[in-house]
Structure 1
Amino acid sequence: MSHPIAPAPARRPASTGSVSETSAAGGATEDAQLARRRMYRRRRIAAATVVAVLLALILGGVVYVSSALGAEVPAASPEVIDPAPVSQPAQPLVLPGTGEFAVAAVGREGLLAASESQAPMAIASIAKVVTALTVLQAHPVAAGEQGPGIEYTDADVDIYWDMVAQNGSVAPVSPGTTLSLKQSLEAMLLPSGNNYAISIANWAFGSEAAYVDAARAWLAEHGLAETVIADASGLSLENVSTPADLVKLGELALQEPALAAIVGEQAVDLPGVGRVENSNKLLGTHGVDGIKTGTTDDAANLLFSADYLVGESTVTVVGVVLGQATHAELRAQVAALLDSVAPGFREVEALAAGAKLATYRTPWGETATATAADGASVVVWSDTPVDVAVTAEPVALADAGEEVGVATVTAGSQVIEIPIRLERSIEDPGAWWRLTNPGALGAAAQPAG
């Protein structure tokens, strides 16, 4: 009997090592994979950092370029050129050796010359200037006009004879005659008619006493504190003033057009009166064109004005000489004084048009000059100094012709301001300079102070 053959047992796979050896190999593989993952992460972080830095640099560059190209450029400070002061020698004057005097120029502060004594003195018919100004304030007469009419009566004839009896100066008057206010003032001022002074005061204010009150109020209003008025004609020796006050009075007279025209007249023909001549015999000589004589028993006085052409300007001199023995001596004193005063006014070129007054040098190498936009000439008296002070502002970018400062010309009380303008433009330095000069741009952006 045959027996079945048993199957051979399966073969076990060959072992490669122990269990511990297998576990160690697995752990090594995991470590390697972890190391690789860490390495890749570090590489990604490094790459991201590089990209971030590059992006920051690129963005920063863009911002810097944008900022630099749009930033303000630094301003250039000016190098100012101050012209040297101009001076003239003092003008020698021929001054009256007797009496009192003062002389000034209209529009200029102070007196050009004056006597040491400025005591009040009798002014005689110079008081009629106050009469005229007080009346004209109450009854204005426009330049070229005649003003209201004044009818003269027997009462005015009586005033005429009363003045004759007192040895006062007069002008003829006829009852029933009507003269305009301007004509009446001519009869009062030119021949120094005392009677017309009283008649005009009576017409304007009702009485001579009322006129005196009005005249004193007028004097106070105009600051003539050293002048006293006692009547309309000046006949009273109580009509007194100082030379300095009388110079102010003369300037006020010239400001009144109707009066200024009258005192410059040599003679006029008046209806019912005839021809009257100006008692001021210096009129028309030595530049004299006004104002009023005044005569007492002891002295001859003259309040005068004179005009002189100096360059393209007219200088008006106002003065007074009081207390001379005769009118001949008075005229000689005034003529000598004026002839010495007139040459003392000089026209001085203080600043020439186009004169270089400031220079600008920019940090990027541009140079621009600022010059006087116009010239300036001043009329000065005697040794009055003429000074030019230049003020110029810092400039960044500017066009040619732009005003960058001012030149101030000062001569006594005269002040003239002349603009300073750039001769050429100060232009932008361009992109390259802006990009390569961050420090200069940063300084320009800093707030002042």
Structure 2
Amino acid sequence: MTEFGTEAGDLTDFATLLATADTAAPDRDDPGRRRRRRRGGLIALLVVVVVLGAVGGYAGWALNAPLPSPVATVHEPAVPVPAAATVPLPSDGASAISLSGADDYFSAAKTKIDLTSGTTTPLTIASVTKVVTALVVLEAKPLPKVDDHGPTITWSKADRALYDKYYVMGATIAPMPAGSSMSEYDALATMLLPSACNYAEALATWAYGSQWSFVSATRAWLADHGLKHTTIVEPTGLSHENRSTPADLIKLGKLAAANPVVAEIAGTIRLDVPGAGSIGNTNDLLDVDGVTGLKTGNLGYGKFSLLYTADVKVPAAGTVHVVGAVLGGATRESVDDDVTATLDGIRDGFHPVALAKKDQRVGTYTTAWGSSAQLVVSEGASMVTWSDTPISVSMKSTAPKHYADGEVVGELTWKAGPSTETAKLAIDGTIEEPDAWWRLTHPSELG
């Protein structure tokens, strides 16, 4: 019994070992199972490779993808509003001015180029009369060229008597010895520069034969030239009946300025004339503030007059030509002061206007990653304008290529009447590229 039992136990242990062998041994011995294990490993490795490849591909894309362009915010600079010009005219008597030579400036500001003040009633013109006398004499006895001093005039005893006549009257005179002679040019100069009355009457009679014929010719000449409000009854200006208006004198001034002989004589400060000696111009404004002529008049307090021309030099605008007239001035000094103030007002009416400062900001470039730069005016700009001429500004700019400091990307253009000024636009600062971390963490903002 013990021995079966013993044999039976041995059989049970063997069966257990056999069962264990049935579940473990095939892992090492079954080829199908080994293939399945290898396949599973390959799949796992492939997953790892795919995952790592995807991560590497994203990084490569993110680090090299195009960046979004900086956003530009630009604005034109404010347009300055120039101050209106003030051209003062005399408050006493009557006056007028006419401007030319800067017509585009004046029209842009809608400025009247003919200005008047005071009464329009004809006033005494005194020795301004002698400008009419000179032009009427030259009508009968023209000088073809400025350097042609014309025919020789020999003074008679009757001419010499004029010296005594006007001396008694207290008028301005110049020597005129009987039998002496001089050219027509010199005679005209002696009449106009020191304002010699005896020469005015002598020239009028020489050119027309008599005073009556001269006055008749003068009336016709005034009518022919549209001087409807001017009356001349004798050639010297001593008569209070020689009258005109500032508007008519502007016409007369333009005629005189266009006559080369009268213009040259009226612009001479001093001249040596055979027989008359050294003669000086009564116009003490000559060569002051650009005054170039023409003639003074003086019949006492409240009856000072001046017909003048002037060239006012203006930077950028060139020269403004002025023809002006003052009648009924209180004194010679007050007339001179009034004319100087008028010319200064014209000159000051052309004033520089600051348009932009150097490095003035007119825009900004910003990026999603925080780098920025400014758009600035690379140089200061200004222009000369007349009065309150409106100024316009326009801006042209292009997208920067490098967004680098100093890169020129456009320009500003200002216009006012005939004036144009430009200034370059440039970048101030440099747009830096973002770092790798920003690229890797902002995929939605990459191109």
TM-score of Structure 1 vs Structure 2, range by shorter chain: 0.5 to 0.7
Residues 149 and 335 of structure 1, relative CA distance in 2, 3 Å threshold: same
After TM superposition, the score normalised by the length of structure 1 is 0.58
1:156 matched residue in structure 2: 159
Within 5 Å, give how 1:251-270 maps onto structure 2: 251-270=254-273
CA–CA distance in structure 1, aligned partners of residues 350 and 223 of structure 2: 33
Whichever residue aligns with residue 98 of structure 1, its letter is: D
Within 5 Å, give how 1:47-58 maps onto structure 2: none
CA–CA distance in structure 1, aligned partners of residues 285 and 212 of structure 2: 33
Whichever residue aligns with residue 126 of structure 2, its letter is: A
After TM superposition, the score normalised by the length of structure 2 is 0.58
Residues 150 and 308 of structure 1, relative CA distance in 2, 3 Å threshold: same
- Give the alignment partner of residue 322 of structure 2, picking from 312, 317, 320: 317
Say if 2:309 is the partner of 1:305: yes
Unpaired segments of 5 or more residues in structure 2?
1-78, 354-382, 393-414, 420-447
Identity %: 43
Question: CA shift at 1:196, angstroms?
Answer: 0.4
The SS at the match of 1:140 is coil
- Give the alignment partner of residue 208 of structure 1, picking from 207, 211, 217: 211
1:125 matched residue in structure 2: 127
Whichever residue aligns with residue 132 of structure 1, its letter is: A
CA–CA distance in structure 2, aligned partners of residues 326 and 132 of structure 1: 25
Unpaired segments of 5 or more residues in structure 1?
1-84, 349-377, 388-408, 417-449
Q: Is the deviation greater in 256-265 or in 297-306? A: 297-306
Residues 410 and 229 of structure 1, relative CA distance in 2, 3 Å threshold: farther
Contact 1:227/1:239 (<8 A) preserved: yes
Question: CA shift at 1:146, angstroms?
Answer: 0.7
The SS at the match of 2:95 is strand
Contact 2:266/2:294 (<8 A) preserved: yes
Q: Is the deviation greater in 279-288 or in 135-144? A: 135-144
Say if 2:88 is the partner of 1:94: yes
CA–CA distance in structure 2, aligned partners of residues 98 and 254 of structure 1: 26
Whichever residue aligns with residue 319 of structure 1, its letter is: G
* 1:231-255 Cα distance to aligned partner (Å, 9 max, x none): 1111111100001111111111000
- Give the alignment partner of residue 235 of structure 2, picking from 224, 232, 237: 232
1:170 matched residue in structure 2: 173
CA–CA distance in structure 2, aligned partners of residues 347 and 156 of structure 1: 57
Whichever residue aligns with residue 90 of structure 1, its letter is: A
Residues 344 and 274 of structure 1, relative CA distance in 2, 3 Å threshold: same
RMSD: 2.8
Contact 1:106/1:251 (<8 A) preserved: no
2:146 matched residue in structure 1: 143
Contact 1:93/1:337 (<8 A) preserved: yes
CA–CA distance in structure 1, aligned partners of residues 124 and 338 of structure 2: 19
CA–CA distance in structure 2, aligned partners of residues 347 and 228 of structure 1: 44
Residues 113 and 200 of structure 1, relative CA distance in 2, 3 Å threshold: same
Whichever residue aligns with residue 284 of structure 2, its letter is: K
Contact 2:312/2:343 (<8 A) preserved: no
Whichever residue aligns with residue 134 of structure 1, its letter is: V
Whichever residue aligns with residue 194 of structure 2, its letter is: P
Say if 2:181 is the partner of 1:187: no
Say if 2:271 is the partner of 1:277: no
Whichever residue aligns with residue 264 of structure 1, its letter is: G
Question: CA shift at 1:87, angstroms?
Answer: 8.2
Within 5 Å, give how 1:299-378 maps onto structure 2: 299-310=303-314, 311=316, 313-345=318-350
The SS at the match of 1:211 is helix
The SS at the match of 2:179 is coil
Residues 312 and 336 of structure 1, relative CA distance in 2, 3 Å threshold: closer
CA–CA distance in structure 2, aligned partners of residues 215 and 193 of structure 1: 19
Residues 273 and 117 of structure 1, relative CA distance in 2, 3 Å threshold: same
CA–CA distance in structure 1, aligned partners of residues 313 and 257 of structure 2: 17
Whichever residue aligns with residue 305 of structure 1, its letter is: T
CA–CA distance in structure 2, aligned partners of residues 347 and 112 of structure 1: 24
Q: Is the deviation greater in 276-285 or in 298-307? A: 298-307
CA–CA distance in structure 1, aligned partners of residues 165 and 386 of structure 2: 48
Q: Is the deviation greater in 207-216 or in 138-147? A: 138-147
Whichever residue aligns with residue 126 of structure 1, its letter is: V
CA–CA distance in structure 2, aligned partners of residues 385 and 148 of structure 1: 56
Question: CA shift at 1:345, angstroms?
Answer: 4.5
The SS at the match of 1:169 is coil
Residues 156 and 345 of structure 1, relative CA distance in 2, 3 Å threshold: farther
Residues 218 and 87 of structure 1, relative CA distance in 2, 3 Å threshold: farther
* 1:84-110 Cα distance to aligned partner (Å, 9 max, x none): x99854211233221111111146696
Residues 344 and 231 of structure 1, relative CA distance in 2, 3 Å threshold: same
Whichever residue aligns with residue 93 of structure 1, its letter is: V
Residues 113 and 209 of structure 1, relative CA distance in 2, 3 Å threshold: same
Residues 309 and 163 of structure 1, relative CA distance in 2, 3 Å threshold: same
1:17 matched residue in structure 2: none
- Give the alignment partner of residue 291 of structure 2, picking from 273, 288, 292: 288
Residues 86 and 170 of structure 1, relative CA distance in 2, 3 Å threshold: farther
* Number of positions where the alignment pairs a residue of Structure 1 with one of Structure 2: 280
CA–CA distance in structure 1, aligned partners of residues 386 and 256 of structure 2: 23
Contact 1:246/1:303 (<8 A) preserved: yes
